[in-house]
Amino acid sequence: MYEAALGEVGQKGAATARKQRGTYLTPRWLVDRVLDLTIEPLIQDAGEDRVLNLRVLDPACGSGEFLVAAAERLAKRLSALRGGGTRRYRAALRRVCASCVHGVDRDAVAVALCRGALERLADAGPGIGSGVVAGDGLLDDLPEVDVVVGNPPYLNRLERSTWRDRAEAALLRERFGEAAMAYTDVAWLFLLRAVQTVRPRGRVGLVLPQSVLGARDAAGVRSAVASRASMTDLWLADSLVFGASVHVCVPVLEVGGRSGIVRRWLGRSSSRLPDAAWVSGDGSWASLGAVGVPDVAIEGAGPLSDVADITADFRDRYYGLIGRIVHRRGDSAGSLAPLVTTGMLEVGRCAWGERPCRFAGRTWEAPCVNLQRLSPDMAAWAAQRRRPKILLATQTRVLEAAVDERGEWLPVTPIISILPRPGVDVWTLGAVLCSPVLSAIAARVSAGTGLSREVIKLSARQVRALPMPRGGCDEAGDLLRAAAANGPDRDALLDRGARLVCRAYGLSDAATDELVRWWWDRQRRRGSTSAEHVTSNPRRSG
C-alpha cells in the first residue's frame, strides 16, 4: 500500500516521491535471508529469557516488512520453547510485538502503516507497535539493541532530487565526521549508525548498494565500521532485486567481533561462494564482492605512475567541448582533432568513425574538435593531450585501452589518459594495460562500484597504483600494434600478447591459461556493458 501510494504521488512530477525518499519494497525472500544471517545465530540456541530480552531495530522501517518478519521469527522460537501450539504462538506474537521490535522512519504515514501491521500480526489494539516512532534514523537518538536490520533509503548525493538540504548535510557531518563526505550515499551512513547502536556481540544486516564495498566516498564509513565490528557474512545479488536500478548486497557485521573469514552467498538461491578474508581498516572491501574473478599472485615491479602521467578530466572539460564539435571523415590533421568517447575504445584499438556515438545529446558519425574554436583554457588542455598516449575506458568488463601513437585524439570524460614518460614505449605500456592480469586486479579492486556487478570502474588514482610487470613486454607491444589494425588474425595476436604479459608478471602456464580464458569470456560478454551512454553524464571520473 505504501509503495503504491508513493508511486501515485510521483506521477505528478519529474522525480517520483519513491525516488526522492529512496523507498522500495524489499521482497520477502530477501527479508528472510537477512534474518537468517542476523537474528537466527542469536536465537537458535537461546533460552526464553534471551529471546524476550532481544531487541531488533529497523532505523528506516517504512511500512514494516523487516519488523513483521522479525516478530514472527522471534515468536516462533519463543512459542517452541514454551511447548508450541497456536495459542502459545499468538501469545508470543503479542509479547514480541510489544517489547522486542523497534522502528524509526521520517514518514509519519509509514510509521502508522508499520504500527498497524504489527497490530494486525499480534491481533491486538493500539499500543502494540509503540516501539515504532517517527524520527530520523541517522540523526535522532536510538535505543541500544541487539540486531539492526533493514533496507535504508538510497539517496544519491549526486542527484538533485535525492539530496538532503544543506542544514541536514551539516548535521550529518557533525555526527559522522569524515565518514559523511560530499558524495557519501546516505544508505552507507546507516551501516555506520547501526554498528554504533548495536550492543557487543550483536549483529547488523542492511540491504545496501554494492558500491559500499569499494566506492571512494564510502572509505570513511568502512574505516569507522571496521573499528567497531567485523564482517561475518556477505550476500550478493546476481540481478536487480527491486525497483531501484542499484545492485545490492547485504554485509553482515558482528559488533566487537574479530572474525577473519567472510562467508559469501550469491543470488536468491544463496549459492555458497568461496570464503574470503576480512579486510579491516579504511581499505577497500571490493574484493569481497568480486565473483568469479581470478585472484592472481604476481611478481610486480613499481606502480604504473612510475612510468606514466595518468589523469582524468573534470566535467568543465566536457562542457568546454560543447559547440566545438563537427563531423569529419578521413584525415583529421590541421585544425580538427578526433573526439574519442568511451564506447569507441576496445582492447588495443579505437573504433572512431566506424560506428555512431553520442555526445552532448547528439549522435555523431565521426566527431572532431574544431581546435580553432576552443577557449584559451581548453586550447591549453588540448595541447597537453595531443601527444602519444593511451586512452582507457571505464564501465567495461575488461580494461579496454587504445594507443594513440601519433597524439591526435582528444578524450571525453570519463576516459582516463595515460601519457608515457620519455623513453617508455607507448605500445608496450598499452599491452600491459590491456593484459588479463591488470583486468583481474582492476575487477577485484572495483567490484560493485560500476553500473553493473561485472564492470570495471577505475579512478585515475587506482590506475596509478596498478603494478607494472618485472619482466619485459616489448614483443607484446609489437603484437598489440599488429592487432590494432583489426585484421582477421586480431584475436590470435591479442591472445599471444596476453600470454606474454602474464608470463612477464611471473604467472605459471596453468595460471596463465586460467586467466586468459577468464579474460576472453568477459570480452565475449561485451556489448551490454559498453559505457557509451556515460558520455552524456559529465561527472568527474577520477
Measured CA to CA, the distance from residue 321 to residue 368 in angstroms comes to 10
* 152 shares a domain with 214: yes
Measured CA to CA, the distance from residue 336 to residue 364 in angstroms comes to 15
Q: Which residues partner with 148 through β-bridges?
A: 57, 204
> Does any domain span residue 542?
no
Number of independent structural domains in the chain: 2
Q: Residue 341 sits in a domain of what CATH number? A: 3.90.220.10
- The segment with the largest mean pLDDT, out of 7-11, 103-107, 317-321, is 103-107
Q: Which residues partner with 250 through β-bridges?
A: 235
Lowest-confidence region among 90-104, 113-127, 141-155, 349-363: 113-127
Go through 442-474 and write b for each residue having 16 or more CB atoms within 10 A of its CB, e for each that does not: bbbbbbbbbbbbbbbbbbbebbbebbbbeeebe
Residue 536, pLDDT above cutoff 50 = no
> Does any domain span residue 540?
no
Q: What angle do CA 492, 496, 498 make, to 5 degrees?
A: 115
Q: Which helix (H) or strand (E) element contains residue 493? A: helix 490-504
Among 221, 254, 289, the domain-final residue is 289
* 216 shares a domain with 304: no
* 169 shares a domain with 94: yes
> Does any domain span residue 99?
yes
Measured CA to CA, the distance from residue 129 to residue 60 in angstroms comes to 15
* 101 shares a domain with 223: yes
> Does any domain span residue 294?
no
The residue ranking higher by pLDDT, 245 or 14, is: 245
Measured CA to CA, the distance from residue 93 to residue 76 in angstroms comes to 8
Q: What is the pLDDT of residues 89-124, one digit of tens each?
A: 999 999 999 999 999 999 999 999 999 999 999 988
The residue ranking higher by pLDDT, 528 or 512, is: 512
Q: What is the pLDDT of residues 243-281, one digit of tens each?
A: 667 889 999 999 998 778 999 999 999 999 999 988 765
77 close to 93: Cβ distance less than 8 angstroms? no
| Mean of per-residue pLDDT scores for the chain | 88
* 276 shares a domain with 362: no
* 349 shares a domain with 220: no
Q: What are phi and psi of 185, to 5 degrees?
A: -65, 130
Taking residues 422-427, report their average pLDDT. Answer: 96
> Does any domain span residue 346?
yes
For 488, counting Cβ atoms within 10 Å of its Cβ (0-12 exposed, 13-18 middle, 19+ buried), the class is exposed
Measured CA to CA, the distance from residue 233 to residue 11 in angstroms comes to 39
Q: What is the pLDDT of residues 177-192, one digit of tens each?
A: 989 887 889 999 999 9
Measured CA to CA, the distance from residue 119 to residue 102 in angstroms comes to 13
Residue 56, C-alpha cell as written in the block? 531488533
> What are the angstrom distances between the C-alpha of 306 and each of 100, 284, 464, 468?
57, 23, 8, 9
Go through 115-131 and write b for each residue having 16 or more CB atoms within 10 A of its CB, e for each that does not: bbbbbebbebeeebbeb
* 284 shares a domain with 304: no
* 271 shares a domain with 324: no
> Does any domain span residue 60?
yes
Measured CA to CA, the distance from residue 542 to residue 393 in angstroms comes to 12
Q: What is the pLDDT of residues 30-80, one digit of tens each?
A: 999 999 999 999 999 999 999 999 999 999 999 999 999 999 999 999 999
At 164 the three-state DSSP class reads: coil
Residue 2: predicted pLDDT: 61
* 105 shares a domain with 152: yes
Among 238, 263, 289, the domain-final residue is 289
- What radius of gyration do the chain's Cα atoms show? 26
Residue 409: predicted pLDDT: 96
Q: Which residues partner with 263 through β-bridges?
A: 233
Structural domain harbouring 31: 2-127+136-289
Share of the chain above pLDDT 70, in %: 89
Cell 538461491 found at? 269
257: left (phi over 0), alpha (psi -120 to 50) or beta: beta
Residue 284: predicted pLDDT: 86
Residue 495: predicted pLDDT: 97
Q: How does residue 371 score in pLDDT terms, banded at 50, 70 and 90?
A: very high
Residue 455: predicted pLDDT: 87
Q: How does residue 14 score in pLDDT terms, banded at 50, 70 and 90?
A: very low
Lowest-confidence region among 120-124, 382-386, 506-510: 120-124
Among 228, 260, 289, the domain-final residue is 289
* 147 shares a domain with 36: yes
Question: Helices marked H in 45-179 — which ranges?
Answer: 48-53, 65-81, 86-99, 108-122, 166-176
Contacts of 78-81 spanning 24+ positions with Cβ under 8 A: 78/48, 78/51, 78/52, 81/47, 81/48, 81/51
Q: Residue 257 sits in a domain of what CATH number? A: 3.40.50.150
At 4 the three-state DSSP class reads: helix
> Does any domain span residue 214?
yes
> Does any domain span residue 79?
yes
* 328 shares a domain with 259: no
* 282 shares a domain with 305: no
